[in-house]
Each structure stands twice: as C-alpha cells, then as structure tokens.
Amino acid sequence: MKFLPVGATALLVELDGLAAVLALHAEIGRRRAVGWAPSLVDVIPSARTILLDGVADRSAVAAEIRGWDVPAAPPTDGQVVEIPCRYTGEDLAGVAASWRVSEREAARIHAGREYRVAFCGFAPGFAYLSGLPGRYAVPRRPTPRTVVPAGSVALADIYTGVYPRSSPGGWQIIGHTDAIIWDPGKDPPALLVPGNRVRFVDVS
Amino acid sequence: MASICVERPGALTTVQDAGRPGLAHLGVPRSGALDPDAHRRANRLVGNPETAPVLETTLTGVGLRFFGQAVIAVTGAVAPVRLDGREVGWGVPVPVGSGQLLDVGRARPGVRSYLAVSGGIAVPPALGSSSTDLLSGLGPGPLVPDQILAVGEPSGRPTAAHPPPPPPASGRVELPIRLGPRDGWLTPAGRATLTGAAFTVAIASNRIGVRLQGSRVEQSSRGELPSEGLVWGAVQLLPDGNLVVFLADHPTTGGYPVIAVVDPAGFSACAQAAPGAIVRFRLAAAENI
C-alpha cells in the first residue's frame, strides 16, 4: 500500500490489484457510513488505486488506513446483462492483428466469455468490464479521438468499455451496440453498475 | 417572478451552479462554474445564495430580454454590459426593468463572464444540480435563441459592498502546481520543461480541460498506467508530450499520468485563459506524507 499526494487536498492510495481495491473500498464505505473522515467529498475506486478527494489531514488519514485490518471483499452475485454487439469497429483489425487472429476470431474471443463491472469512471455510466485474460491486453491509442460515438464497444488494457454517449476517447473500438448504456431519466441511470455480470452477443 | 428570453445566446452560454460533487464514483463529473470565485461574487452582488445558478458565457457574451424586474451583476471576464444599448456597470448590481434588453459583450480580457440574476436562474436540477455538464450531458443544454428562462424568487438584498474584483489574468498566466501523483513518469528534462517552459492555450480547450501546446514534456517510457481517479486541476501528460489541465467537466478517471495538480488558487486563471494565452507553471509548497 502506497500513498501519493494529489494537489492540495486529495490522496491517492495505490494497491496491489483489483481485489485489494474492492476490499479497501468496501472498508472505506463501512467507515464513512459511521462518520469517518467527514470532509471527504469523493471516493473514486479504479483498477489499482482509490482516490480520496477532500482530505483535511493527509498524513493522519494515511496513518489510519495503514493501521486498518481490512477483510477481503465478499464476492457479489450480480445480474447478467446481455449487450448485442456488431463487431465492425475501426480498430478491430489492429486488435485482431495484435492477438494474431482473424477479425472473425477476435470477435469470437471477445463475445465468448463473461465480464464483470469492476468500477465506473471516465463518464457517467462508463463501466470498466473485467474478464479478458491478460494475454489479450491492448494499449490505448497514442492520441485520443476527439469524438467516439455512443455505443462504441472498445478495449484498453484488459478492460472492455461501452461509450455511454459520444465523447472524446482513447480506447480501441472493436464494435458497436444499440443498447442504451446511460439514461439520466431512469433509476438507476446506468445500465452497467458495479457487480453486474455482462455478456456480449455477436450480432455482426 | 421575472423571466428571460434569450435573444443572442453567444458562442456557448450555460447554466452553472456549484455542480455535482460526491458522485464521481458513478462516473458523474463535478461540473459547476469554471471560475468559482466569480460565480460566488456575482451571486453575492445580487443577494443570492453563493451557490445559486447563474449564466456562464464564453468569449462573446449573451443578449437577454427581461420580463419582470430583476437585479443582475456580471463578474468573471471583463465585458461591456449594456442595457437597451446604454453602457452600465460591470462587477456591480444593476436593476433591470421589464422589457429591457441586457447585452453582455465580448470578454476582454478573459473567456467566461458570469451573469447572476436576483432569484437565480430556475431550471430543473439533474442529480442535485442545475449545471450544464458538457462531458456527460447532464443538466440543461446550452442556451439557444428564443429560449425562455425562468427566474427564481429573490431571497436576499443586492449589495454593492463588495468592491469590483481585479480583472482576471488572460494573456500571460502563471499557475501554482504541486507535483504528483505521477511525476515519476517525467524525465529530468521533462520536469525542467514543466516548470520552466512556456505553454500556449490551444483552441481545442473547453470546460473539460485546457489543452496546452508549444512545449512537449518528455516522459520516461513506463508503459501503460491503469485508469485512475482525477481531480479538478489535474495536469495530464499525453503520450505525444502535450498537457491537458482538467477543469470542472473533467472525466472522473483517466489513463494518462497526472504529473501535477493546479492549486484551487489557479482555477480562475484556468477558466479565463483564452486560446493563445501563454501559461507557465510555478511550484507551490510541497508536502510529504
């Protein structure tokens, strides 16, 4: 566990991996519920870190967290969300080449497994789906696109994401879906929330 | 209760309040007025609560026809303020009569002026805020011609007790930063560029971030960084060596290294730095954990 200062009032906790993040994030949630660190504004988990924004005394908070005995987070049984996907993305050829398979086989590899929403970020409803083995990790594009259309199914590192709405983005686009990923008029507004299990259905 | 008809929406005019803090874990940006000091000051001048919704203009101001009486004040970027063509004060409360045309002109200097109306701009909140969030699409859309805006019930008395603020910096900007969390990605040369070189505000800058060009910051080859949480003011280093300073509509997480963070004292300057402005970074106090 490593603590890095972020600006004047935030603290980044760096952990060994996703399991440790889920465990510490759950612990922070339990303690906040009973009044711990009332100045905190945002707590943002990610693949390897938790960002605490709004920390009055960073040294004290870091020392406290170091002293916690954090139980491993229990596994959750989320519902399965099916996302129809046309594997016709602009970057599919490049991704398939990096996997040393045909585009058709790349689609089969991607659609042939179950994913889990690890955390949300980047934009409302943008879920980071884990499930691809490490050998299929791909880099982000060297320069982000200024516009990625809503419904773009894209890869970065080991994660799959579905752009909830048109936005700038640097992930490699492998396909497109017509599923509505984000609807502020609905409760919850996000189709993919942490804990959900997800399958992509090839409708190319 | 007054209402307003938008006669000239300007390049980009949005409703802004204090935004949506506390929802970043859902991927919801903070949003809110880019120049928080100017937002609060405008509201104080017309007797509103400091966080009341106001209009944030971009470079070319806004033209509004009032129905019903109100008191307005314009802060942030200095701009000519005219009532039926007659110049009235900037940075002070101005009574507006029913039927009058209020025009906020081109920002000179700066980018974003804040127009507060006594009672506040009344639009239905989304997730607790009336702010337009251009990244996520939450909140009302930018103003369009002939749109009617409702105004809330005034709750306080206008005051001129606050002296007009100094015009915001624009042409040459110095931003206080703290290094980290990912300054380890910088080479010694890259670190020297960050704190020594001059950068230029790119035309592609917006409420999401100020894009800087002109000096490329060298990073050591460290591979990929897993996406992690971002804060307002985060200075992100792109693979091509250019920088983005994230503002209120920033994504909640990002995958390029954040090598430094601008102190809140620099947020107003970020909001008012026009394309072409020269930006330099100055190290603020460091802190060990």
CB contact under 8 A, B227 and A10: no
Chain A contact probe: residue of B129, B136, B245 with most A CBs at under 10 A: B136
Average pLDDT over residues B24-40: 93
The string of pLDDT tens digits covering residues A84-127 is 999 999 999 999 999 999 999 999 999 999 998 888 887 888 99
Separation CA B201–CA B177 (nearest Å): 17
Per-residue pLDDT band at B11 (split at 50, 70, 90): very high
Is the Cβ pair A121, B28 closer than 8 Å?
Answer: no
Helix or strand or coil: residue A94?
A: helix
Longest Cα pair distance anywhere in chain B, in angstroms?
63
Residue B170 has pLDDT above 90, yes or no: no
User: Count of A–B CB contacts within 8 Å?
Assistant: 143
When CB atoms are compared, the residue of A6, A48, A121 closest to B27 is A121
Using the Cβ of B174 and the Cβ atoms of chain A, whether some distance falls under 8 Å is answered with: no
In angstroms, what CA-CA distances link B120 with A30, B94, B151?
38, 15, 6
State the smallest CA–CA distance between residue B101 and chain A in angstroms. 35
Q: How far is B233 from chain A (nearest CA, A)?
A: 8
Helix or strand or coil: residue B11?
A: coil
B240 has a chain A CB within 8 A of its CB? yes
Q: Min CA distance, A72 vs chain B (Å)?
A: 20
Confidence (pLDDT) at A90: 96
Cross-chain Cβ contact B253/A46 below 8 Å: yes
A180 contact B CB<8A: no
Q: Output helix, strand, coil percentages for chain A, rounded to the nearest 5.
A: 25, 35, 45
Would you state the pLDDT for residue A113? 93
**What tens digit of pLDDT does each residue of B58-77 get?**
999 999 999 999 999 999 99
* AA letter at B206: N
Q: Select the residue of B127, B256, B261 nearest A7 (Cβ to Cβ).
A: B261
In this model, does residue A77 exceed pLDDT 60? no
pLDDT for the residue B232: 98
Task: Could you list the beta-strand ranges (E) of B43-198.
Answer: 54-56, 62-67, 70-76, 81-83, 86-88, 94-96, 101-104, 113-117, 121-122, 148-151, 172-179
CA atoms within 13 A on the CB side of B94: 25
| Half-sphere exposure in the Cβ direction for B259 (13 Å, CA) | 27
- Cα–Cα distance measured from residue B204 to residue B198, given in angstroms and rounded to the nearest whole number: 18
Q: Which residues of B touch A12 (CB under 8 A)?
A: 181, 228-229
Q: Is residue B263 within 8 angstroms of chain A, CB to CB?
A: yes
Q: Is A170 on the interface with B (CB under 8 A)?
A: yes
pLDDT band at B161 (very low <50, low <70, confident <90, very high): low
| Residue B277 half-sphere exposure toward CB, CA atoms < 13 A | 25
What is the token pair recorded at B247?
A: 């503002």
Interface check B270 vs A, CB under 8 A: no
Which of A14-28, A131-145, A149-163, B264-278 bottoms out in mean pLDDT, i.e. has the lowest?
A14-28
Q: Which of B132, B224, B240, B252 to mutate to test the interface with A (most CBs of A within 10 A)?
A: B252
Is A41 in Cβ contact with B21 (below 8 Å)? Answer: yes
Q: How close A35 gets to chain B, by Cα (Å)?
A: 15
Whether the predicted pLDDT of B139 surpasses 70: yes
Across residues A3-27, what is the average pLDDT?
91
Q: Tell me which chain B residues have a C-beta less than 8 angstroms from the C-beta of A170.
A: 255-256
CA distances B254 to A136, A168, B62, B126, B136, Å, are 21, 12, 34, 24, 15
Check CB contact under 8 Å for B261 and A190: no
Angle between helices A103-111 and A92-99 (to 10 degrees): 90
pLDDT of residue A23: 83
CB-nearest partner of B24 from A4, A42, A156: A42
- DSSP E strands in A46-144: the ranges are 49-53, 80-85, 114-120, 127-130
Q: What is the mean pLDDT of residues A137-148?
A: 92
Q: In terms of pLDDT, which residue wins out, A189 or B101?
A: B101
Residue B192: which residues within 8 A CB-CB, separation 6 or more?
Answer: none
What are the pLDDT digits (tens) for B83-126?
Answer: 999 999 999 999 999 999 999 999 988 999 999 999 999 999 99
Mean of pLDDT values over B37-59: 97
Residue A76 has pLDDT above 70, yes or no: no
Q: Would the pLDDT of B172 be above 80?
A: yes
- ipTM > 0.85? yes
In the prediction, which pLDDT does B289 show?
Answer: 56
Contact A11/B at CB under 8 A: yes
Taking only Cα atoms into account, the Rg of chain B, rounded to an integer number of angstroms, comes to 20
